[in-house]
Chains A and B, each alone.
Chain A
Amino acid sequence: MKDITEKEVSEVIYADNIAHIEELEKMKKATPARIGIGHTGARYKTEPMLRFLAAQAAAADAVFSEVKEDVVKDLGVFEVRTKCASKYEMLTRPDWGRIFEEDTQEYIKNHCIQNPDVQIYFGDGLCSPSIQANIPDLFPTIKLGLEDKGITVGTPFFVRYCRVNTARTIGPLLNAKVVCVLIGERPGLLTSESMSAYIAYHARPEMSESDYTVVSNISKHGIPPVEAAAHIVDLLDEILKKKKSGVALKTD
């Protein structure tokens, strides 16, 4: 059966009447941009148009879809949500996507071990599919890596309608030395399952945005989860030793 998305856009030339086709092939190897797609009149040819629509739809779906309860269950973690009650609130109220109701905070506290070296949790962020696509490889590898180094890891959980700055609440709540939130990134047309790790030493409400150390572009199209995990373990180890994160870590 036909699938127009089977080959990467970068592998297909849709333009006609190219003077030096081998040059165009070289150009396409140098960039993932949608070049060499041709035109009919001053409009797009049909297949590249459909491919754009498919990629954009996948990206939008990644934002607006929900992480299914089964996915959370399979990860073996419990679920909480921020103050947001819907995707709409999550997208329009960043101030609510970073805080929890009182009883939710109690719930988290009662279901997690206290005082871990590193508290890791997962958030849907702007890309729900990133959880299923990356966490099953990413989290166990990070956990093993840290435990090998004698670093204690807190109880993982999943936060629905989650923004990065939930870390400012979670850190003090569980008295974790370091907080690491694995969260879905805003998708683009090249990938719609990427996630980032935002890591903060001594996370707290009054911390600065520049106190986060970030590993982005984690996905099979970017940094593969297992490779990212190794990198994150090294970073967490360094952050714990130097007792700082973000810009301060770089300027060391």
Chain B
Amino acid sequence: MNLKTRLYGKVYQFQNVTDVLAKASELKSGDTLAGIAAENTLERIAAKAVLSDLTVHDIRENPVVPYEMDAVTRLIDDDLDAEAYKKIEHKTIAEMREWILDGKTTGNDILHASRGMTSEVIAAISKIMGNLDLVYAGNKMHITATCNTTIGEEGVLASRLQPNHPIDDVEGVAATTLEGLSYGIGDAVLGLNPSIDTFDSTLAIWNLLGEIRDKYEIPTQTCVLSHVTTQMEVLKSGKGKADLCFQSIAGSQKACEAFGISTDMLEEANALFRDRGSAKGKNVMYFETGQGSELSSSAHNGSDQQTMECRCYGLARHYEPFLVNTVVGFMGPEYIYDTKQLLRAGLEDVFCGHLHGLPMGCDVCYTNHMPVDQNDSETLLMLLANSGCHYVMGLPQADDIMLMYQSTGFQDIAAVREIFHKKPIKEFEDWMIKWGIWENNRLTEKAGDPTMFF
């Protein structure tokens, strides 16, 4: 395995695969904080050059966290499709990139091959892709998954309705939910982040969202984003149900432990919600990720944040989720500093999620301590609408009044659907037409009145 190269006569030597991956990664403040980023742009390009000549085999055999010490590595490696792996084992990362971009290669070809790729291989391919490569390749892949409805059909841009409230007030949550519905938002899921993680709040919001879904016969899914153990406890109690089970996940066992989860726990939750939840289909998990969470719990094992993020997707695909999204700008400027880093992270996360065969969405967002503003969110939203992104977040004027960050608004999703000829999920679109808020592939005048439902 060759770990050195020359650029303009100067020799660049790297220590190991982890080092090559980290230094080949596009600049992120988190990797600088971790002390593992390339020292300058030329070193970064040298690392990309070295990486492009490594084979799929080289990278599989050198995971960034050793197999013996990490349950996430074991799960990703054990899940590999041996046949698919055999076909690509000796290909270089450069060859994989060109094959993916090749006009003769279809999305289905790519998704079949990706079953033989570890998360590090997928990260490696993305690291030698420019932003336009990520969009070009991402557009080929359509991944469907079924809960009550089916997400991922070509031409669909779905949305999560996020009706958060500072104290989980049931009337307040209902008010925001109806406002969002009146803009045609919520076809991916009606999903609330609770302000307090308790049995009672999870149950109360499950019941509220379920009642709204049933009363107005909305073809969608419900979810409360409390800890997986809380949701399991409520479901086991028999007092209430939800369609989707949520959990934040991370790319190493140690980082998962910091989230209070294990691979077995997720397995149990998946089985429980398939068995006793209210979903009709078999895809019942909803995962959120975001670059930097491993470093924040000192569980990155010397690896860069984008590679660790990819390992979240490797973990996620084991459970055949209905939704996975990166919360791309939530971790703060220590990890993703500015607009340039945010746009890059959004594009690479969505592409890498897709390449893992996941119905990938994105919470296009920023916190107020980043030098980023709403124009940047709007830009990334437009980019992702053209990158095959499955769904995005809908909040009242993009503002989360509980988590104190800005995402994308109901009107933003409506505008992007109209501009780029994207539709909501079919059954949900029919529901919107029935209520008179959607006509000729755009919102009507009637949209935006939450009192139409009274």
Residues of A within 8 A of B (CB): 15, 17-21, 23-24, 27-28, 30-39, 41-44, 48, 52-53, 55-56, 59-60, 62-64, 91-95, 126, 186-190, 192
Asked if B346 is an interface residue, CB under 8 A from chain A, the answer is no
Which chain B residues lie closer than 8 Å to A20 at the CB level?
451, 454
Residues from 424 to 445 in B contacting A, C-beta threshold 8 Å:
442-443, 445
- Contact yes or no, A92 B29, CB < 8 A: yes
Asked if B95 is an interface residue, CB under 8 A from chain A, the answer is no
- Contact yes or no, B369 A39, CB < 8 A: no
- Contact yes or no, A33 B333, CB < 8 A: no
Most chain-B Cβ atoms within 10 A of its Cβ — which of A28, A43, A92, A93?
A92
Instruction: Name 12 extra pairs, CB < 8 A, besides A30-B172, A31-B176, A91-B334.
Output: A15-B449, A27-B178, A33-B396, A42-B417, A52-B397, A55-B399, A59-B368, A64-B371, A91-B332, A186-B368, A187-B404, A188-B405
- Contact yes or no, B172 A95, CB < 8 A: no
Q: How far is the CB of A36 from chain B (nearest CB, A)?
A: 7
Most chain-A Cβ atoms within 10 A of its Cβ — which of B33, B447, B448, B454?
B448
Asked if B337 is an interface residue, CB under 8 A from chain A, the answer is yes
Interface contacts (Cβ under 8 Å), in number, total 143
Which chain B residues lie closer than 8 Å to A44 at the CB level?
397, 409, 411
Which chain A residues lie closer than 8 Å to B373 at the CB level?
56, 60
Asked if B265 is an interface residue, CB under 8 A from chain A, the answer is no
Q: How far is the CB of B334 from chain A (nearest CB, A)?
A: 5
Could you say which of A19, A55, A126 contacts B451, with CB atoms under 8 Å apart? A19
Asked if B398 is an interface residue, CB under 8 A from chain A, the answer is yes
- Contact yes or no, B169 A30, CB < 8 A: yes
Q: For residue A58, which residue of chain B has the nearest CB?
A: B368
Asked if B288 is an interface residue, CB under 8 A from chain A, the answer is no
Which chain B residues lie closer than 8 Å to A190 at the CB level?
401, 404
Assembled-state Cα–Cα distance A105/B198 (Å): 42
Residues of B within 8 A of A (CB): 29, 32-33, 163-166, 169, 171-176, 178-179, 183, 332-334, 337, 367-371, 373-374, 395-401, 404-406, 409, 411, 414-415, 417-418, 442-443, 445-452, 454
Assembled-state Cα–Cα distance A33/B32 (Å): 37
Could you say which of A33, A37, A43, A59 contacts B165, with CB atoms under 8 Å apart? A33
Which chain A residues lie closer than 8 Å to B165 at the CB level?
31, 33
Assembled-state Cα–Cα distance A35/B395 (Å): 9
Which chain A residues lie closer than 8 Å to B176 at the CB level?
31, 33, 35
- Contact yes or no, B451 A23, CB < 8 A: yes
Closest 10 CB pairs of A and B: A188-B404, A31-B172, A27-B175, A34-B397, A42-B414, A42-B415, A20-B451, A30-B171, A59-B368, A30-B172
- Contact yes or no, B33 A92, CB < 8 A: yes
- Contact yes or no, B33 A35, CB < 8 A: no
Assembled-state Cα–Cα distance A37/B448 (Å): 8
Assembled-state Cα–Cα distance A4/B171 (Å): 27
- Contact yes or no, B337 A92, CB < 8 A: yes
Q: For residue A64, which residue of chain B has the nearest CB?
A: B371
Task: List, sorted by A's number, 29 A–B pairs whose CB atoms are closer than 8 Å.
Answer: A15-B448, A19-B452, A23-B454, A27-B450, A30-B175, A31-B171, A31-B172, A31-B173, A33-B163, A36-B450, A39-B414, A42-B442, A43-B415, A56-B374, A56-B406, A62-B368, A63-B368, A63-B369, A64-B371, A93-B33, A94-B334, A126-B369, A186-B369, A187-B404, A188-B401, A188-B404, A189-B399, A190-B401, A190-B404
Main secondary structure, interface of A, reads loop
Could you say which of B33, B169, B397 contacts A48, with CB atoms under 8 Å apart? B397
Assembled-state Cα–Cα distance A38/B450 (Å): 10
- Contact yes or no, B333 A35, CB < 8 A: no
Q: For residue A187, which residue of chain B has the nearest CB?
A: B368
Q: For residue B171, which residue of chain A has the nearest CB?
A: A30
Which chain A residues lie closer than 8 Å to B183 at the CB level?
39
- Contact yes or no, A24 B368, CB < 8 A: no
Q: How far is the CB of B454 from chain A (nearest CB, A)?
A: 5
Assembled-state Cα–Cα distance A95/B367 (Å): 20
* Given A32-B166, A33-B399, A63-B369; A18-B451 close (CB under 8 Å): yes
Q: For residue B397, which residue of chain A has the nearest CB?
A: A34
Q: For residue B175, which residue of chain A has the nearest CB?
A: A27
Which chain B residues lie closer than 8 Å to A17 at the CB level?
445-446, 449
Assembled-state Cα–Cα distance A94/B398 (Å): 28
Q: How far is the CB of B346 from chain A (nearest CB, A)?
A: 19
Assembled-state Cα–Cα distance A163/B377 (Å): 27
Which chain A residues lie closer than 8 Å to B173 at the CB level?
31
- Contact yes or no, B443 A36, CB < 8 A: no
- Contact yes or no, B411 A39, CB < 8 A: yes
Which chain B residues lie closer than 8 Å to A62 at the CB level?
368
Q: How far is the CB of A52 from chain B (nearest CB, A)?
A: 6
Which chain A residues lie closer than 8 Å to B447 at the CB level?
39
Which chain B residues lie closer than 8 Å to A63 at the CB level?
368-369
Assembled-state Cα–Cα distance A36/B449 (Å): 7
Which chain B residues lie closer than 8 Å to A31 at the CB level?
165, 169, 171-173, 175-176, 401
- Contact yes or no, B411 A42, CB < 8 A: yes
Q: For residue B178, which residue of chain A has the nearest CB?
A: A27
Q: For residue A194, which residue of chain B has the nearest CB?
A: B404
Q: How far is the CB of A144 from chain B (nearest CB, A)?
A: 31
Which chain B residues lie closer than 8 Å to A64 at the CB level?
371
Q: How far is the CB of A88 from chain B (nearest CB, A)?
A: 9
Q: For residue A19, which residue of chain B has the nearest CB?
A: B451
- Contact yes or no, A37 B32, CB < 8 A: no
